Amino acid sequence: MSDNDHGDDSVHFTRATPRRHLALLMWTHMASATRVMPARRRLALVAHDNKKADLLDWTRFNRELLAGHDLVATATTGRLLHDELDLDITCLRSGPLGGDQQLGALISAGQIDVLIFFWDPLEPQPHDPDVKALLRIAVVWNTPVACNRASADFVISSPLLHGSYEALIPSYGEDEPDRSHVA
């Protein structure tokens, strides 16, 4: 009997199902739609205070690539990048004043394609719950996240960042809005 011989859409696993296939089967079953990301991506740039210099240096190195995309940032980070690099950036509120939540809302609405968030793992933040919520919602909606310079280098240099890309949109239930039309 195959996985779908039960007459419904559920996925059935046995102890014999190889572990490496379980995650893929669960993800494929959960994903119900796709959305095509435009070639000009919408990138969110965020950095905690102790990481702003690192993000500024990374952004300076990648300025020409970033200029080809729509950039969104929390207030302080966005002003710093705009003033130092003369990039067009849409600035939201400061992270602790709701900017992280604004970014989460944009991700949920399918309006952010990539999150570059240089967060400080060694310094407690007054808005730690907002930071965790932002990272969580990016994972929920299958949004690529780079949390340090190395992962940001991999994301910015990926051939998948350039040109259109069809992203899987996970389905979490019948009551959620349809995001497949969001581009």
Active site residues: 100
Average pLDDT over residues 158-167: 89
| 20 three-state secondary structure | helix
**C-alpha closest to that of 118 among 157, 90, 82, 76:** 76
Inform me whether the pLDDT recorded for 7 exceeds 50.
Answer: no
> What distance, in Å, lies between the first and last C-alpha atoms of the chain?
39
Inform me whether the pLDDT recorded for 63 exceeds 90.
Answer: yes
Mutual angle of helices 99-108 and 128-140, in 10-degree steps: 10
Average pLDDT over residues 161-182: 73
Mutual angle of helices 52-61 and 75-85, in 10-degree steps: 40
Q: Which is higher by pLDDT, 137 or 3? A: 137
User: Of 9-18, 58-67, 84-93, 106-115, which range is least confident?
Assistant: 9-18
Radius of gyration of the chain (CA): 19
Inform me whether the pLDDT recorded for 31 exceeds 60.
Answer: no
Phi-psi category of residue 99: left, alpha or beta, with phi > 0 → left and psi -120 to 50 → alpha: alpha
pLDDT, tens digit (0-9, with 9 covering 90-100), for 104-143: 999 999 999 999 999 888 677 767 788 899 999 999 999 9
Inform me whether the pLDDT recorded for 30 exceeds 80.
Answer: no
Mean pLDDT rounded to a whole number for the chain: 82
Inform me whether the pLDDT recorded for 178 exceeds 70.
Answer: no
**pLDDT category, 96, cuts 50, 70, 90?**
confident
Average pLDDT over residues 52-60: 97
Phi, psi torsion values for 172, nearest 5 degrees: -115, 5
The whole-model pTM stands at 0.78
Average pLDDT over residues 22-33: 53
Rounded to an integer, what distance in angstroms lies between the CA atom of residue 72 and that of residue 111? 10
| pLDDT score at 67 | 96
| pLDDT score at 170 | 83
Rounded to an integer, what distance in angstroms lies between the CA atom of residue 91 and that of residue 93? 7
